[in-house]
Amino acid sequence: MAIRQVREIGDDILRKQSKPVTKMTLRTRILINDMLDTMYEEEGVGLAAPQVGILKQIVVVDIGDGPFVLINPEIIESSGEQTGDEGCLSVPGKVGTVTRPNYVRVRCLNEDMEEIEIEGEELLARALCHEIDHLKGIMYVDKVEGGLREVVYDEDTMEEYEEEV
Ligand code: ZN
């Protein structure tokens, strides 16, 4: 188990196009395991390889129902619309409102390099869109409506609340 350092906004690597994975190697398996460990440690619902400084088309997502590993993912169908708050481990302490499709179907490879399809609605669709954007150098801050808001903690209650910034 290894936690990798999460790159933050302003780091050029987050703006680069990731490359497809052509074969599964030990190095890539270790990367995937480290990405899962890092996502859970940082309490995120998803993580893309460029966020840990690797320009490979790999994302991991877990909205609470167990992990998905997606290699070379491509959105092949989307429908509907949802507008809600989004955050990113590479943009710590901030949230913003983003409109995404309410449903997506994604074609990708699994860890055994077999082609699979994953469907998601609501939060899963949002997480899949957000993470797949990272592979193209796109961040949610590019799509945010009405600016970013700061998430702060009330030290007395430890409850999260938001402030306009
Ligand atoms: Zn993100």
For residue 126, the CA-to-ligand 1 centroid distance in Å is 11
Would residue 37 be called left, alpha or beta, if left means φ above 0 and alpha means ψ between -120 and 50 degrees?
Answer: alpha
State pTM to two decimals. Answer: 0.93
Q: How many helices (H) and strands (E) does the chain have?
A: 2, 9
**pLDDT by residue (tens digit) across 112-150?**
999 999 999 999 999 999 999 999 999 999 999 999 999
For residue 88, the CA-to-ligand 1 centroid distance in Å is 4
Instruction: Return the CATH number of the domain spanning residue range 12-164.
Output: 3.90.45.10
Pairing of strands 82-88, 68-79: unpaired
Residue written as token pair 């994953």: 118
How far apart CA 112 and CA 63 sit, in angstroms, is 22
**pLDDT by residue (tens digit) across 96-116?**
999 999 999 999 999 999 999
Residue 76's pLDDT band, with cuts at 50, 70 and 90, is very high
Give the environment of ion ligand 1: residues with CB less than 5 A: 88
Is pLDDT at 95 greater than 90 in this prediction?
yes
The pLDDT value given to residue 162: 65
By C-alpha distance, which of 75, 59, 76, 47 is closest to 21? Answer: 59
- Is 131 tagged catalytic? yes
Among residues 8, 41, 81, 131, which one is catalytic? 131
For residue 25, the CA-to-ligand 1 centroid distance in Å is 25
How far apart CA 38 and CA 157 sit, in angstroms, is 27
For residue 15, the CA-to-ligand 1 centroid distance in Å is 12
| Start-to-end Cα distance in the chain | 37
Contacts of 18 (CB under 8 A, 6+ apart): 48, 49, 50, 55, 56, 57, 58, 134, 135, 136
